[in-house]
Amino acid sequence: MHDPREYRSMAEREAEWFARLPAQLAFAREHSPAYRRLFAGVDLSLVNSWSALASLPLTRKSALPEEQAELPPFAGYATCAPGEAGRVFASPGPIFEPQGEGADPWRMRRACQAAGFAPGFLVHNSFAYHLTPGGFMLDLGCQAAGCAVFPAGPGQTELQVGAMRALQPDAYVGTPSFLAILLERARDAGVPLPRLKRALVSGEALPAALREQLTGFGVTAYQCYASADLGLIAYEGVPGGGLICDEDILVEIVCPGTGEPVPFGEVGEVVVTTLQRSYPLVRFATGDLSAFSPELSPCGRSGRVLRGWLGRADQTAKVRGLFVHPAQLAALQKRVPEVGRLRLEVSRAGAQDTLTLKAECADTPALLDALSTGFRELTQLRADVVAVLPGSLPADGKVIDDCRSH
């Protein structure tokens, strides 16, 4: 049974979020040392709109390994001790995460149900249960949807095909590429899998050719977008119909390096605020690029839709021994407000790195000199500055374009 909250109006959804948010932020400040510091002096009762939320600082995923090394294990963001978390996981970085509260702590039930998983299904789960939480995320979500789970984990293809022969699962969760391997191996071994009709896949891209390959085996694949820190972020209600943002998080799309929201529909970094208590991440910058789609999902759910994963926001480039960051270009844009978008192109002429700064602005010597001087002061590097027509740089979230062949 689907959650009726998925079909309400956006006004109803936002009214609920912003009614809950001030108390959630106050709880985070009271119980989390990190947010006690970050929210010091902020009147959290006024954070009841998108613009007010955007005024709060980002919590960057890319900074967590260093922050957790300084203040183990959770850098002060969690409100629970490790022994109270139920399970603690380690993702690459390393980044340590507490499991969270409730029977479905990553809120994966909604994605399972959208993929057509029903009570009484047996689900073959090939996500890893070791160190990282992927296996448990989907395991608990499937159980919350009324399904039984076979905890296969990754690898051992022959053994997994043998288990599928014996158990005849109704559905699969895991990466799409491993599902294709299992289906090919089952076909080659003469193992019929007539009950396996649905899959919920994540952890890697699902290109159209791979989706079609799975369809050829009789399996309809639905994608979801999730992370160990945040749980479910978005999920498909119709294969290929866009990723619907989960009901219990607030998703922003912001300019990489600044945290400022981009115009609706433009590409930017995915930033998520959760409403859970044990790990109350606020404006958590994922490092992923995406954009809101102007269209709703064809399935009838009314939540905002992400266009999918469109790259990484961390476009830092090392040039002549120095790092150039998107935040430096954002600072330059504030220094010279007459410009529109900026894009730094990094290339190589022979053994020498070259920099070209394209700016949507008037082609005047004073403006180009201001950009050149500001860029040199902010980065300690020199760049050729080129004026381009307003609107000519693509709105794809890319600030630094590294064209070198590494």
Mark residue 318 as left, alpha or beta (left: phi above 0; alpha: psi -120 to 50; beta: remaining): beta
Strands (E), 76-152: 88-91, 95-98, 122-125, 148-151
Task: Report if residue 287 sits inside a domain.
Answer: no
Predicted pLDDT at 1:
63
> CA 339 to CA 329: how far, in whole Å?
11
Residue 67 structure tokens:
């922050």
Predicted pLDDT at 221:
98
Task: Report if residue 393 sits inside a domain.
Answer: yes
Q: Count other C-beta atoms under 10 Å from residue 64's C-beta.
A: 21
CATH code of 391's domain? 3.30.300.30
Where in the sequence is the domain holding 326, given as residue range(s)? 319-402
- Which residue, 384, 383, 326, 337, is CA-closest to 360? 337
CB neighbour class for 129 (10 Å; exposed up to 12, middle 13-18, buried from 19): middle
> CA 107 to CA 113: how far, in whole Å?
11
Element (H, E) at 353: strand 352-360
Predicted pLDDT at 397:
81
* pTM summary value: 0.83
Tally the residues of the chain: 406
> CA 203 to CA 156: how far, in whole Å?
19
Task: Report if residue 380 sits inside a domain.
Answer: yes
* pLDDT averages per 10-residue partition of the chain, 406 residues: 89 97 98 97 97 96 92 96 94 90 96 97 96 95 98 95 98 94 96 98 90 96 96 97 97 89 93 96 94 96 93 76 80 93 87 87 94 93 94 87 74
Task: Report if residue 386 sits inside a domain.
Answer: yes
Residue 21 structure tokens:
């948010």
Predicted pLDDT at 316:
75
CB neighbour class for 123 (10 Å; exposed up to 12, middle 13-18, buried from 19): buried
CB neighbour class for 41 (10 Å; exposed up to 12, middle 13-18, buried from 19): exposed
Predicted pLDDT at 351:
59
Task: Report if residue 173 sits inside a domain.
Answer: no
Predicted pLDDT at 328:
87
Task: Report if residue 360 sits inside a domain.
Answer: yes
Residue 197 structure tokens:
């009709």
> CA 280 to CA 195: how far, in whole Å?
40
Task: Report if residue 343 sits inside a domain.
Answer: yes
Q: Count other C-beta atoms under 10 Å from residue 248's C-beta.
A: 17
Task: Report if residue 353 sits inside a domain.
Answer: yes
What is the tally of structural domains in the chain?
1
Give the Å distances, CA to CA, from 337 to 263, 340, 374: 17, 8, 12
